[in-house]
Amino acid sequence: MADDQADNQRSRGRNPRGQGERLREEILVAAMRILDELGDDQALSMRAVARAIGTAATSVYLHFDDRDTLVLAVLNRCHDDLMRAMAQAESSHPDPADQLRFRTMVLGEWAYNHPGLYAVLHESALNQRTEMAFRKDLADSTVAAVQRCMDAGFAPAGDAATIALDLRAAVHGAVSMRLHQPDQPWPPLDDQVERFLVKLVGVRPRDRGAAADPNPSGHFRQKK
C-alpha cells in the first residue's frame, strides 16, 4: 500500500501552471474524507493528506499553512454544502412548516451520515480553541425558518431564537445518541424530528397521507 502511494506521488509530478485551485480542491476533498474516517482533527496529518492524493507534503503547505487551517477550511466547506442543501430543500416547499421540516431533516441526515466530521465540528480540540463564525449562519437560518412559521400562523407566536435553539439541541441529541448507541431500537429519524417540530415549535403534524420526500436535500440520505 505504501509503495503504491509512493508510486502515485512520483507519477503525479507538478500541477501545470494555473491548476493550483484544482490541487487545493483535491486536498480539501481528501482531508474531508480522512477526517470523516478519523473523527479527530488531532489525528490528521498533512503528510497523510498528501499521500492520499499522491503529492508532496510541501504542496499541501503551499495552500494551507498548518493542520488547523486545513481543518477549518474543511468545516467551512461542510457548512457551505449543508447550507446549500437546506436552501434547496426549503425552495422545494412553499409551506413554511414544510420548509422547516425538511431543512431540519437535511441537518439530521448530514450529521448521521458524516459522524467523523460531525464529531470534529462539535467535539474537536480545534472547536474548543477557535471561534467558528459559520455556526452563527446556521443558527440564524434556523431562527429565521422558525420565525417564518410563526409569521404565517403555522406555529404559535413566541421567542423564535429560544425555540430554534431547543430544536437544534433536540436534533443534535437524537443524532448523537444514534451514533453512540447504535444497537438501540431507534425510531426513524424523520418520525422523531416530526415530534420535535410538533412539541417544540408547535406546527401541526404532517399529513402522513401526503407523499413524503425521502431525500429532500438532493445531497444527503439517511443510513439504513
Same fold? 2-64, 71-201: no
Q: How far apart are CA 213 and CA 224, in angstroms?
A: 16
Short-list 108, 121, 100, 119, CA closest to 164: 100
pLDDT reading at 12 higher than 60: no
* CATH number, domain 71-201, options 3.40.630.70, 3.30.70.930, 1.10.357.10, 1.20.1290.10: 1.10.357.10
Q: How far apart are CA 93 and CA 127, in angstroms?
A: 34
CB 163 within 8 A of CB 201: yes
pLDDT reading at 129 higher than 80: no
Mean pLDDT of 198-218: 70
Q: How far apart are CA 19 and CA 4, in angstroms?
A: 24
Query: 160 CB contacts (<8 Å, ≥6 apart)?
Result: 143, 144, 146, 147, 150
Q: What is the pLDDT of residues 29-48, one digit of tens each?
A: 999 999 999 999 999 999 99
Confidence of residue 210 (pLDDT cuts 50, 70, 90): low
Amino acid identity, position 197:
L
User: What residue has cell string 399529513?
Assistant: 207
What pLDDT score does 148 carry?
A: 97
pLDDT reading at 95 higher than 90: yes
User: What residue has cell string 474543511?
Assistant: 74
- Which tops the pLDDT comparison, 221 or 42? 42
CB 2 within 8 A of CB 8: no
What pLDDT score does 56 carry?
A: 94
Confidence of residue 122 (pLDDT cuts 50, 70, 90): confident
C-alpha distance across the termini of the chain, in Å: 31
For the chain, the domains span 2-64, 71-201
What pLDDT score does 2 carry?
A: 39
Q: How far apart are CA 14 and CA 10, in angstroms?
A: 10
H helix runs in 114-159, sequence order: 115-123, 125-129, 134-151
Q: What is the pLDDT of residues 35-88, one digit of tens each?
A: 999 999 999 999 999 999 999 999 999 999 999 999 999 999 999 999 999 999
Give the chain's mean pLDDT: 85
Instruction: Return the percent helix, strand and coil in the chain, to nearest 5.
Output: 70, 0, 30
Burial environment of residue 4 by CB neighbours within 10 A (0 to 12, 13 to 18, 19 or more): exposed
CB 200 within 8 A of CB 167: yes
CATH of domain 2-64: 1.10.10
